[in-house]
Structure 1
Amino acid sequence: MSVTLSDHFIGIAAKRLSHVEIFSNQHEFNGINKFRDILGADRINLKGNMVYFADDEDEMIDNPSDYTWYDVRENNPLRSAEFRLYFSDNDVVPNAAVGDLVILCKTIQNELTIIVAAHGSTSEKQLLYLFGLEEVENRFLVKDYRGDYSDIGYAGKYILESIGIEVEIPNEIDYLAVMQEQFGLTFPSTAVFSTFARSTVEDVSVLDDPDQALMAWWEREGELLRIFERAIVGEKIREGFGDDVDAFLQFALTVINRRKSRAGHSFENHLQTIFDSFGIKYSKGAKTERNNRPDFIFPSIVNYHDSSFSFTDLYMLGVKTTAKDRWRQVLSEADRIPRKHLITLEPAISKNQTDEMIAQNLQLIIPSTLHKTYSEKQLVDIINLKSFIETF
């Protein structure tokens, strides 16, 4: 089942923020008459959100906002229309900078979401990729997605979920019944669940195309986890929380943390299966200096701690489902290995960050299917999983 932008959006308008928009305190966007094709020519009030989409999760803002779309000359029919969009939120635009990207999104739920991302950031690059924008200047560029049925793929789904849009998970085969038969309504260990997910994927060859196998397994496990999670979470919601708000918040936090934890472990599990298939020797999660535990050390942690074993024959691989600012964590995990390797499933990392990775002697590994989200200049210094395996 494909996922398209038209599943979620009617259309967007995008531009770079100006000094006036940030500092005037007018809470309005103007110069946007072309957005009439999306919002119409009548005054309307809309609900929605304003999001500051940041590389650092601690800097992200997601606030509710009220909107009014209106023609400032509506009482003067002899003058040409001048449409503006008023927003009530006080945080997102004032915290932005001149030149930051802003995208106004009309959703199929008849709501409006405004997203702002810092200029030069990975968040900005991901939004440009998602909405098919080459570059955006100081005037609004409007795109209509009605009738656009092109599949946005894994990268697009990843970015949608990063901005808080839940993507519908297909269940064309009744996997829930199969999982309930095997696991009841209790989550099995991540290793067991990863093995089950791999068993449901056909037509991939690990030895011929490890990149394809990794992505197929990863996507399938994510789909199965959501299907199974909905059944378990739905049961708990039906039981109810009474008036215990703290119990509800704790349950929601548990669901979110479980998603993050299982995602990291399942990524490692699939990589481990691939390395085993190629007969590659490694140590997983073993201690180096200062109690650090790199995800993988090649060929083994014993060789790592053997001072007579040449450091040129040692490799370290960090595994991050999302990179952004988290990639720096791997730099201090294995002192004996000057050139670190990092594999991530994050699409469209900014050139600023990939340049910094190069400066820090970090080799970035991106599965082949995500290479299209990177520029040709970036791809000169990015390898795929197959190329990494071929170094052994």
Structure 2
Amino acid sequence: MKRGYLSDYFEGVAVKRLSAVEADVIRSNQHEFNGVEGLKNILGEPSGKVRFTAKFLYLTDQDDEPIAEDGFLTWYDARQRARIERGVMRWEYRLYFPTNLVSQCAAEGDLLVIAKKSDDTLLAVVAEKGTTIEHQILWLFGFSDLTHPGFSVKSELENEQDRISFAARVVLEQIGVEIEDEAPNYLDEMLLKFNGTFPKTTEFSVYARSTLPDLSGFEDPDNALLRWMEREEILFRTLEKHLLGNSLRELTQNHAEDTEAFIKLVQSTLQRRKSRAGSALENHMEQIFQDHKLCYSRTPVTEGKKKPDFILPSINDYHNLEFPASRLTMLGAKSTCKDRWRQILNEADRIPHKHLLTLEPSISENQTAEMQDENIQLVLPQGLHNTYTPKQQQWLMDVGGFLDWVKTLQY
């Protein structure tokens, strides 16, 4: 098996859109899918009823966290007994699942994903129709045409499309698959440098960049930003795994019966991950501004205590009403958008046309159309543009293009 591909985590995946009848079926008590013959390519030929442990997720752009529930899926051939007892040569495969929170959310047109993981468990995902996360899942697994009523199935996940890129990592983590990349060669150095603790985000970003000395934020800002973010993520997870292991061992020894202490540790870990990713993007973009000798203010106060990520050339120019508004730029930075991109709309009243930097791949056309209607220009590294449709790519701006545009205003 090749390393660094989707096959590291999945043996196969099947997707389909839910019809009105199917949506009603999975919300009612009759939780069986017909027309699932294609699933035997990933679930195998059942002998009796085969029960798979499963994780169910319902995903939408409105919620940061998915609706999730553990359960099972049962795979069987409803005609197997008739073939054995009466020689009736018919096959009728079915997939059964119990009522749960996810099935109750499903609606006509939603995307259903059944993925067999490498540990022989199943991941069952329902993604709301027309959302970015639906678009991302289809891109991740390389599906496009879902016009036929049955499942579209892929059991080979080692093509170039299946390589786990930075963009793929982003989507995988949204469907609950944590990438296991680590950089153990740097662990001792990090423990010594940071005294066995988590450093400040700015300090960690500087360190991450130092491990990639051949990258230049001046010569190739698009590649540098993406590579710096990817390296920082891997280094952070390496350090986190070590420090979290120490914390868990200490809790186990000293607070074995205190479940609240374990819950707090998990919550603080998740919160640290989220806040660090956003800060890292700002840190690396700030370095690129410095490399290009651009003037900027980071997280300044505009109106009503609003704090955009960057105002260019400066917040003093912004508050100087004699300074032309046409020479002002606002850049928001969000590692992932979801519906949170709307937060930047009122962060700088003097700048009607705003820019938003993100690392989120394959945002839906519905979302990018809304951004355009709200006078927001999406900026993302060139290496992520191919996750978008050709129509979207005509509108997207890369980091280098954004820098060139700002220079026309400053120089």
Q: State TM-score, norm by structure 1.
A: 0.97
1:314 corresponding residue in structure 2:
328
1:326 lines up with 2:337 in the alignment: no
In 2 relative to 1, CA 89–6 (structure 1 residues): closer, same or farther, beyond 3 Å?
A: farther
* Partner deviation per Cα, 1:52-80 (whole Å, 9 max, x = no partner): 12112257211111111001111110131
Structure 1 residue matching 2:22: 3-state secondary structure: helix
- Greater alpha carbon shift after TM alignment, 33-42 vs 119-128: 33-42
* Partner deviation per Cα, 1:29-65 (whole Å, 9 max, x = no partner): 2211121121121231110111112112257211111
Segments of 5+ residues of structure 2 without an aligned counterpart are none
1:296 lines up with 2:302 in the alignment: no
1:37 lines up with 2:47 in the alignment: no
1:252 corresponding residue in structure 2:
266
- Greater alpha carbon shift after TM alignment, 39-48 vs 295-304: 39-48
Deviation beyond 6 Å, 4+ runs, structure 1: none
* Aligned pairs for 1:374-389 within 5 A: 374-389=388-403
1:72 lines up with 2:78 in the alignment: yes
Offset at residue 293 of structure 1 (A): 0.5
Segments of 5+ residues of structure 1 without an aligned counterpart are none
1:49–1:114 Cα contact (<8 Å) kept: yes
* Partner deviation per Cα, 1:198-246 (whole Å, 9 max, x = no partner): 0001432222210100011111011010000011000011111311111
* Aligned pairs for 1:145-224 within 5 A: 145=156, 148=159, 150-171=162-183, 174-224=185-235
1:56 corresponding residue in structure 2:
62
2:182–2:235 Cα contact (<8 Å) kept: no
In 2 relative to 1, CA 205–54 (structure 1 residues): closer, same or farther, beyond 3 Å?
A: same
1:347–1:370 Cα contact (<8 Å) kept: yes
Offset at residue 152 of structure 1 (A): 2.5
Query: Percent identity of the aligned residues?
Result: 43
Amino acid paired to 1:214: L
CA distance in 2, matches of 1:157, 1:2: 14
Residue-pair matches, total: 391
Structure 2 residue matching 1:390: 3-state secondary structure: helix
Q: What's the Cα RMSD here?
A: 1.4
In 2 relative to 1, CA 6–360 (structure 1 residues): closer, same or farther, beyond 3 Å?
A: same
CA distance in 2, matches of 1:361, 1:283: 22
1:87 lines up with 2:97 in the alignment: yes
1:52–1:60 Cα contact (<8 Å) kept: yes
Offset at residue 280 of structure 1 (A): 0.2
2:237 corresponding residue in structure 1:
226
Offset at residue 2 of structure 1 (A): 5.4
Offset at residue 184 of structure 1 (A): 2.4
Q: State TM-score, norm by structure 2.
A: 0.92
CA distance in 2, matches of 1:229, 1:377: 40
